[in-house]
Amino acid sequence: MRVLIIHQHFNTPKQGGALRSYYIAQGLSEQGFDVEVLTTCSGERVDVVQYEGFKIHYLPIAYANEMPFTRRKWAFLKFILWGIIYALKIPKPDLNYVISTPLTTGIIGMVLKLIKKTPFVFETGDLWPLAPIQLGAIRNNWLKRILFGLERTIYKRARGIVALSPLQKNYIQDIVPNKPIEIIYNMADLSFYNSVQIKENTYKTKPYLITYFGTIGLANELAYMLDLTAHALDKYPDYQFIIAGGGAQLQELKQKAVRMGLHNLTFLGTIPREQVRLLLCESDVSYISYAPYPVLETGCPNKFFDALAMGKLIVVNFKGWIKECIEQEKCGFYTEPTQPANFFEQIMPIFENQALFQSYQTNARALAEAKYSKKHVMEKLADFLKNQ
């Protein structure tokens, strides 16, 4: 079966960033699919690369989270137009696998279905346009109506839909009740994220290290972590905090940390994947943060699965399916983001009981192995695509 994966933000492990679409391309290729990828790069020309058994077509369309929203919208529009023209030149696949965000990638799938009669499966990376609307990035009422109409049309025209969480599936089913929808979670890279023996700490300088890694954007509301750090300054001197990553809010966050005098907090910026693994290995807690918007509770962040694979105690400051999951599996807990003391009230009894702390770590890795391994997730996706 020939599949063309269409995703504006495709990354390989060498590039860093979110790797879900890479795992899908790699996994489908291993399952016997003939895979090609259509994506973008920051270069100056079109490039075609053979990579690990599949082909990647790069269109030179720059994009970064730090860009103003108007520039990002222009990048989305360019990918629609150029993506359609370029995809028409690629030999016809049996199926197009179209990944948001942004939602507008679905337009490419619909046009190719109309012109080349190629069916497409649509994956909802995030719920667009609900996410940018709730976060305040889209305020014009006419634009909201247009985007909600586009979302409904894409769902209706798709052969099937892949959701990343149960909450996403429920939302989509309300719009297209009879459409085949499969939940395909993000994947835990069990072979890469595995505890390694550390002779000397690179990052950890105090008894307890709490780490956030990933995008530093409006949706992540990492001011909550600054509040935790400030609360620990005098009361809990054995606690150390690290924020690793880049994004639109990074400079503002760093300036705020300086004003607050947070000498127990370190910003690492964007670091390579190998260093993320080392940082996670040395960390005691993986802290996952979101702003208080209901749509963000439906998400499926890669950092959650990386932390599970590494066997880390996970703390979240948002509700939703991940909160329920870590509480049920006893590998983490929810902390009230506006009450920093709540975090320490819950974490101290765990740190003081080594057997309990170890059980959280063991449960995290066991969950990754049982439910979220690449092999398990990719077999499920391959079966779904074969039946479309």
> pLDDT tens across 21-63, in order?
999 999 999 999 999 999 999 888 999 999 999 999 999 998 8
Asked whether residue 226 is domain-assigned, the answer is yes
Are 137 and 6 found together in one domain?
yes
Answer yes or no: do 301 and 169 share one domain.
no
Is 201 a domain residue? Answer: no
Find, among 123, 100, 31, the residue nearest to 378 by Cα.
31
Number of domains in the chain: 2
Model confidence over 171-200: pLDDT tens digits? Answer: 999 999 999 999 999 999 999 998 766 667
Nearest-10 crossing angle of helices 302-309, 354-371: 120
| Co-location of 178 and 226 in the same domain | no
pLDDT-based confidence at 70, cuts 50/70/90?
Answer: confident
Please determine, for residue 160, whether its predicted confidence score (pLDDT) is greater than 80.
Answer: yes
Distance CA 194, CA 213 (A): 17
Residue 280: inside a domain: yes
Whether residue 133 lies inside any domain: the answer is yes
d(CA 127, CA 102): 9
What share of the chain in percent tops pLDDT 70?
Answer: 98
Q: How far apart are CA 289 and CA 343, in angstroms?
A: 13
Residue 57 included in any domain: yes
380 and 360 belong to one structural domain: no
Residues 182 and 283 in one domain: no
* Percentage of the chain exceeding pLDDT 90: 89
Instruction: Locate all alpha helices (DSSP H) within the chain, ordered by sequence.
Output: 20-30, 69-87, 105-116, 130-134, 141-157, 166-175, 223-235, 250-260, 273-282, 302-309, 321-328, 340-352, 354-371, 374-386
Q: What is the pLDDT of residue 197?
A: 64
Output the pLDDT for position 267.
Answer: 98
Instruction: State whether 281 and 172 are in the same domain.
Output: no
87 and 162: one domain?
A: yes
pLDDT digits (tens, 9 = 90+) for 212-236: 999 999 999 999 999 999 999 989 9
Same domain as 180, residue 72: yes
Looking at the fold, whether 257 and 138 belong to one and the same domain comes out as no
Q: Is 136 found in the same domain as 250?
A: no
Give the pLDDT score at 137.
85
Q: What is the pLDDT of residue 199?
A: 67
The arithmetic mean of pLDDT across residues 162-172, rounded, is 97
CATH (domain of 121): 3.40.50.2000
| 214 plus 123 within the same structural domain | no
Residue 198 has a pLDDT of 66
Alpha helical stretches, state H, 283-339: 302-309, 321-328
Please report whether residue 46 resides in a domain.
Answer: yes
Looking at the structure, do residues 224 and 111 belong to the same domain, yes or no? no
317: tokens are: 């400051």
Q: Indicate whether 164 belongs to any domain.
A: yes
Residue-level pLDDT at 196: 67
Task: Tell me the pLDDT of the chain averaged across its residues.
Answer: 94
Q: Predicted confidence band at 74 (pLDDT cuts at 50, 70, 90)? A: confident
Instruction: Look at residue 44 in the predicted model and tell me its pLDDT.
Output: 87
Looking at residue 264, its amino acid is: N
Residue 141 belongs to a domain? yes
Stated as kind and residue range, the H or E segment containing 4 is strand 2-6
Residue span of the structural domain in which 119 resides: 2-187+373-386
Residues 6+ apart with CB under 8 A from 133: 139, 144, 147
Instruction: Map tokens 């649509």 to a residue.
Output: 122
Instruction: Kindly state the average pLDDT of the residues 291-308.
Output: 96
How far is residue 381's CA from residue 282's CA, in Å, rounded to a whole number? 33
